[in-house]
A = this chain, B = another copy of it.
Amino acid sequence: MTVVKVAVNGFGTIGKRVAEAVTRQPDMQLIGVSKTRPDYTAVIATKVLGYDLYVPADKVEAFEKAGIRVAGTIEEMVEKADIVVDATPGGKGAEYKKLYVEKGKPAIFQGGEDADVADVSFSTLCNYTEALGKRYIRVVSCNTTGLLRAICTLRREFGVRSVRATIVRRAADPKEVKRGPVNAIVPNPAKLPSHHGLDVKTVVPDLDIITAAVVVPTTLMHVHVVYARLARSVTREEVERAFEEAPRIILVDEALGFKSTADIIEAARDLGRRRYDVPELVIWRESITVNGDEVIWMQAVHQESIVVPENIDAIRAALRLADKPEDTIRVTDETLGLKKFL
């Protein structure tokens, strides 16, 4: 089996999770991660996880002063890699692209970048084959990934005519202490549509979709209410079965105590999931409502981890390590332990 060398540029919320996921893949080797600040995350990366850490050339001294072993510069890391996963802050990826181009390396970007950073915007259940062999692939953001998993599942089974969705966004990730709101509901923005629907269209261009987003004071997960019109009338059972059988989607029962995003996270903690991550899209079973060709449901998105499986698949698509979506999904989901919830 070919084993490809993967570098992860940026070791924040997404980067640290993708790096770890890479180490679990039989066809990938993590050759290093990069950081710009010598903080506790850098200490964990090197001393606890044993990753090779690469830093900007002008930061080497600062890291060494902090007692953190540096393996080289970011340029050197990119040089050594077969492919780079760019998990730098939104907008930085476009700047780093110059380096990837210069070194002749393919790269995976995140949804914080504009769509034109890459040859294709990507979500495994929607357009895996379109991304095959593409040099630059952009994995769409957490909310868009959540929407697309459900939409493309229904699209494949029944066809989808239109989608209207309300995105109730979490205010901040758990460690972000400078973001809000603390006590308000914030239209994000008031002028519609929100960017999420537009971002969905970077993957499924012909879809009639409008999204409206608000930000609310919570850190755990986003919640969406989705109002869809399908290409034909369906039964509730058909829709439930489609979601149930889809990869990376789990159904939870309010009646079993999943009364809020906090219950989903509590279960993930009780199940011993690392960092309480829930990379699956979570749909409340009771919320699935069907009237003819209309389907409405509520879903929760764990913003920190949902894009991790798609990043792994994007690596396989770019380097043609798997020709069919089901082949990468099988390996990714097995190694990450997906759909083993309740």
Contact = CB atoms under 8 A, between A and B. Distances in A.
Interface of A: 164, 166, 168, 170, 181, 183-187, 189-193, 210, 212, 214, 216-223, 225, 227, 254, 258-263, 284-287, 289, 296, 298, 300
Contact of A289 (B186, B192, B259, B261): B192
A212 B284 CA distance: 12
Contact of A187 (B184, B191, B260): B260
Contacts of A212: 166, 225, 287, 296, 298
Given A189-B254, A216-B217, 13 more contacts: A164-B164, A166-B168, A168-B185, A168-B214, A168-B216, A185-B220, A185-B260, A185-B261, A191-B286, A192-B296, A212-B296, A214-B298, A227-B227
Contacts of A219: 183
15 contacts: A164-B164, A166-B212, A168-B185, A184-B260, A184-B261, A185-B222, A185-B223, A185-B300, A187-B259, A187-B260, A190-B254, A190-B259, A192-B289, A192-B298, A214-B298
Given A189-B254, A296-B192, A183 B284 contact: no
A183 B220 contact: yes
A214 B221 CA distance: 13
Given A210-B296, A225-B166, A296-B210, A185 B218 contact: yes
Nearest to A258: B190
A2 B234 CA distance: 60
Contact of A191 (B181, B254, B263): B254
A164 B225 CA distance: 10
A189 B219 CA distance: 21
A113 to B, nearest CB: 25
A298 B185 CA distance: 11
Contacts of A262: 181, 183-184
Contacts of A286: 189-192
Contacts of A170: 185
B289 A193 contact: yes
B287 A190 contact: yes
A225 B216 CA distance: 14
Nearest to A291: B210
